[in-house]
Chains A and B, each alone.
Chain A
Amino acid sequence: MISIRSMTRRSEPYVFAAIVALSLLIQARSGQFFTGNNLVDLARALIVPALFSIGCMLVIVSGGIDVSFTAIASLAMYVTDKTLLASGYSGSVLLAYAMSGALGLLMGALNGGLIGFLKLPTLVVTLGTGSLFTGVMYGVFAASASDVPPAIAAHGKQTLFTAVNLESGLTSNMPSQVLILVGALVLVFLLIRYTMLGRGIYAIGGDEAAAERAGFSVAWIKLFLYSFVGLLAGITGVARISMISYADPSTMLGMELTVIAAVVLGGTRVTGGLGTLTGTIFGVTLMTILANSLILIGIPTYWSRVFTGAVIIVGTGVSARQIGSARRRVRTLQKEA
């Protein structure tokens, strides 16, 4: 039962409309947007930010903010990479995912413990741990760009299918890592829709005191949440290096702000409580098109940063204003009454 009114209050339709409009514009100017290889390229560019954005959305829904997930992903994948290289491991890539995921989970658990049990502010904690993890990577492990072990390299060459552009003859491979994204989306969908744990994340974002009174174990839910985000980050780290075939410690650092912006653009409420997977994927898609496809209509790549920035300001600004005016309306009614 979705009424027109609740439709217009949501931001997904607007973001979707923006994606369609931008796609059509690029198609009209270049004729290259709706070609198999461009779409596959986009999907490829989407995988890592989309994986990050899922965890990021959950954290923002819970009323928190996480800026450490790229640092977690980087350190987890780097330690995994180096360990597997040193041991001469040649088995399945699953071990790499498991190891990096476990490391990520531990780092996330540190965030979750500090936030859930010591009740420290999320921004302060994750700024701190993010800096700590990056520092450990460069300091303790003296990280620099490195090869990937054979298992990861082979995994990076696995493709689901190849799209060919009939006009230009360019080809693009759909990487198998897209399956991880699909898996994560399904898993998180089930989590937030059909488990009390998932509903608890939304409840905490709505009113933490009320969640406590209702009987949610707020501290444990937060520990779970940040650990899960860490796990997802660790897995994303391996997905990333397998796609670029070398372990660059800095390849993901700095993505966190774009990811957060994409999540907010997708309608996740910055103050917590509201956010959908659909909206999040829309937000990431729009940002990815801006970053990748503007070149098709002859706009140099550095301009895409300008557009990205503008979209962030307009998109997040609009949703912030909506929240503001809704709050004011309620407040005026309350005080007048």
Chain B
Amino acid sequence: MAASILKVVGIAKSFGGVQALKGVSLEIDAGEIHCLAGENGSGKSTLIKVISGVHEPDAGSIEIVGRRLSRLSPMEAIALGIQVIYQDFSVFPNLSVMENLALNMELMDKRALMNWGRARAIAAHAVSLIGFEVDLDERVENLSVADRQLVAICRALLHDSKLIIMDEPTSALTKKEVKALFAVIKSLQSRGISILFVSHKLDEVFEISERFTILRNGENVAAGSTEELDHRTFAFHMTGREFAEASYKSDRAPGPPVLSVKGLSQVGSYEGISFDLAQGEILGITGLLGSGRTELVETLFGISSPDSGSIEIAGREVRMRSVKDAIALGIGYVPSDRLTEGLFLPQSIERNAVIGVLGRLCNSLGLLNRRAVAELMSKWIAELSIAAKDPSLPVKTLSGGNQQKVVLARWLASELSVLILNGPTMGVDIGAKYDIHALMRELASKGLAIIIVSDDLPEVLACASRILVMRDGAFIQELEPATTTESRLGELSTGVA
């Protein structure tokens, strides 16, 4: 068996009375790809910070390359070969690739002057380590997210790393980019570098890692070889709950369509789109990035106008010139980027949830009725099981899944006939994901017509009653979830058999 590069035992850490880690252990062998999984708040980030010397543990021991350490500073951690690649990559967007690669090295060497020749040499060496082809003079902000990540990886490699910790490295990458990243990770492994891969996406854990450790509420709940893991046990360990998902089938008799789209086209985005949507249906639209899926639903919500074609709501042709028109027609939209588009992050949960119906909560003088607001809010907090201590806290204090529920609450508070969800569970952890799925089914069974746009194929299969595959701006096939598979959907949306 290979020597362990990192061994932490019984790590405990609390912040102001909150016990974030309650005796966690983790062992990583040399040249191993180890996955650390857990939901938000499970203690993953705290553990990483302990390993990288940012937090000092209250109890427990850390052993790096056989050396037992009672305390560890960030600089010592780097000197021992531990590098963290943060979710935001910690790069300087305004500086060139060259400077991003060289600055940390130069600072470590305590240089006072900037030597551009040496910086170029360091940078050229860094990118050569993984064969990363990039213009060293380009500003990092002009690179794609994946390339920025590679810059961060190259920079980490400069420090003679033995263990590279990647905090949710795939969260902003496309599928293709994830593949490329995995190839890089494998090549690092072949050099004997260990990787601690932090993720809550099961597919990735399966694909890349050999062993895993799962944390829940600051404790180890499972560890072992990835081969022994399957979807159900993974989800169970992550959440401590059992989930069973069958595909959704509307049990109401097919009624007249609430939304009917005929030959809708927008030059450069989508073309000849037609479909009907009835009450109680969940229509899944899937397709790759750039297939026009987002542009299409944005048109349905009045954000952009179609060039031709018609939209009918309850049998009447409508023209939506703005989002306001769409809302008045009973259409709701939850954007994929709820953080920047859907919520007022510093504002309270309460205010975020009721903003869509302020008009209804006002008295005749146009003043807000506080009691009505509180009543409505407590109703939705209970109904959606939003885990909130206090509705007056800012929305940004909630986890991703709970934030998503607040966005839903806002729409449900208004009278809605069609709800469009774009990437409804993107960046949301497993427990909240199942809750949101259950909620969508429940809403549909109460008569709401729902459209979900998602490239999470298992999600589309589990939730939709009908699936439309979109490619190059057109619907290419309609499928029944019961009679199709994930691989078939994948083939259709990529056009590669």
Contact = CB atoms under 8 A, between A and B. Distances in A.
Contacts of B107: 196, 214-216
Given A198-B114, A199-B103, A206-B95, A336 B290 contact: yes
Interface in A203-247: 203, 205-207, 209-211, 213-216
Contact of A214 (B104, B141, B289, B290): B104
B144 A333 contact: yes
Contacts of A205: 94
A195 interface: yes
A249 interface: no
Contacts of A198: 114
30 contacts: A1-B137, A194-B113, A194-B114, A195-B112, A196-B103, A196-B113, A199-B99, A203-B95, A203-B103, A205-B94, A206-B92, A206-B93, A206-B95, A207-B93, A209-B90, A210-B88, A210-B91, A211-B92, A214-B107, A215-B104, A330-B141, A331-B340, A333-B145, A334-B172, A334-B337, A335-B340, A335-B423, A336-B294, A337-B174, A337-B177
Interface of A: 1, 193-199, 202-203, 205-207, 209-211, 213-216, 269, 272-274, 326, 330-331, 333-337
Contacts of B290: 336
Contacts of B493: none
A145 to B, nearest CB: 44
Contacts of B95: 199, 202-203, 206, 273
Q: Is the interface of A mostly helix, strand, loop or mixed?
A: helix
Interface in B235-294: 289-290, 294
A337 B145 contact: yes
A273 B294 contact: no
A121 to B, nearest CB: 15
B111 interface: yes
Contacts of A330: 141
Q: Is the interface of B mostly helix, strand, loop or mixed?
A: loop
A278 B88 CA distance: 32
Interface in B101-137: 103-104, 106-108, 111-114, 137
Contact of A335 (B90, B141, B173, B336): B336
Nearest to B336: A335
Contacts of B172: 334, 337
Contacts of A206: 92-95
Contacts of B423: 335
Nearest to B340: A331
Nearest to A194: B114
Given A1-B137, A269-B94, A335-B337, 12 more contacts: A193-B114, A195-B112, A195-B113, A197-B112, A203-B103, A207-B88, A209-B88, A210-B88, A215-B104, A334-B337, A335-B340, A337-B173
Nearest to A210: B90
B354 to A, nearest CB: 26
Interface in B334-353: 335-337, 340
Contacts of B114: 193-196, 198-199
A197 B103 CA distance: 11
A211 B88 CA distance: 13
B148 to A, nearest CB: 10
- For the complex of A and B, 9 pairs with smallest distance between CB atoms: A273-B94, A206-B92, A206-B94, A335-B337, A215-B107, A210-B90, A337-B174, A214-B104, A336-B289
Nearest to B155: A214
A206 B92 CA distance: 5
Nearest to B74: A213
Interface string B172-212: 11100100000000000000000000000000000000000
B172 to A, nearest CB: 5
A198 B289 CA distance: 40
Nearest to A327: B141
B112 A196 contact: yes
Nearest to B178: A337
Contacts of A194: 113-114
Contact of B108 (A197, A202, A211, A215): A215
Contacts of B93: 206-207, 273
Which of A193, A215, A216, A337 has the most C-beta atoms of chain B within 10 angstroms of its own C-beta? A337
Which of A194, A206, A326, A333 has the most C-beta atoms of chain B within 10 angstroms of its own C-beta? A206
B69 to A, nearest CB: 21
Nearest to B172: A334
A297 to B, nearest CB: 40
B250 to A, nearest CB: 29
Interface string B73-101: 00000000000001010111111000100
Nearest to B111: A196
Nearest to B102: A199
Contacts of A195: 112-114
A314 B289 CA distance: 36
Contacts of B88: 207, 209-210
A203 B139 CA distance: 12
B145 A207 contact: no
A215 B110 CA distance: 9
Contacts of B289: 336-337
A277 to B, nearest CB: 16
